[in-house]
Amino acid sequence: MSRRPGLKHVAVLRSELVDRPLHDTLRSHYADHPDVAVVLVVERIGIHDLSAIAPYGISAVIRTGELTARPDLLTSVTNTVARGGYRLPRMLGASVQTAVDRPSRPRRPIGQPGVLLKPIDLALVTLAAQGRTIERSAHQLDESLAYVKEALRRLYQRLGVTAMTACVRYAAREGLLWHEEAGEAS
C-alpha cells in the first residue's frame, strides 16, 4: 500500500486473470480495508469480470501488456487513484460506457453465477462457440464421443441449462471466451 499526506491509501494487486482466487482475495481485502482503493494489474479482463469485482474497491485496472508499453503507467495510475481518480483500459472503458448508455432489457440469468468451469468444460464451450460439433470437438480433444457427451451432461446439470447455446452464453457473460487478436472477453 502507498500513502501520502492527504491522499487515499492505494493497494496494487496482480493476477493473470480474474478467477475465483482473485475474487476471494479482493473480497477479503475489501472486508479488512474498505477505505483502501485497489489498482488491479491483470493479463485478461472483460466487462463481466469488472462487474463481478467492482464492489470490492477497484479504482483502476491496468492490463499487463500496457505496462510493457509504458513502464511508468503503474506509478501514474497509482497517483491518480490516490487523488481520488479512476482508470480503465481503453476498450474496457468503452464497453462499460456503452452498457451504461444503452442498458439492455432485463433477462433471466443463464446458468448459476460463479460456477467455475472445468478445463474440459471450457474447452468444449470454446469449441462450440467456434462452431464445432460434438463429434469434431471429441476428435480435436482426442477424447471419446461417449466421454464428451457425459462431460456435457454434467456441465448442463451444473449450470442448470439444457443446451450448448446456453453454456456459450453463460461463458460469454462470465468473460470466459476470448478474441485472440484483441485479448478481450466477448
Q: Which position has the grid cell 447455446?
A: 165
Report pLDDT digits (tens) over 157-178.
888 888 888 888 887 777 776 5
Does 112 lie in the same domain as 56? no
**Phi and psi of 41, rounded to 5°?**
-105, 115
Does 57 lie in the same domain as 120? no
Q: Where are the beta strands (DSSP E) in the chain?
A: 10-17, 37-44, 58-63
Contacts of 84 (CB under 8 A, 6+ apart): 8
Report pLDDT digits (tens) over 12-62.
999 888 888 888 888 888 889 888 888 999 888 776 677 677 777 788 888
Domain total in the chain: 2
Does 125 lie in the same domain as 96? no
The answer to whether position 141 is within a domain reads yes
Is pTM, for the whole model, over 0.85?
no
- Give the pLDDT of residue 151: 92
- Give the pLDDT of residue 94: 53
The answer to whether position 1 is within a domain reads no
- Give the pLDDT of residue 185: 44
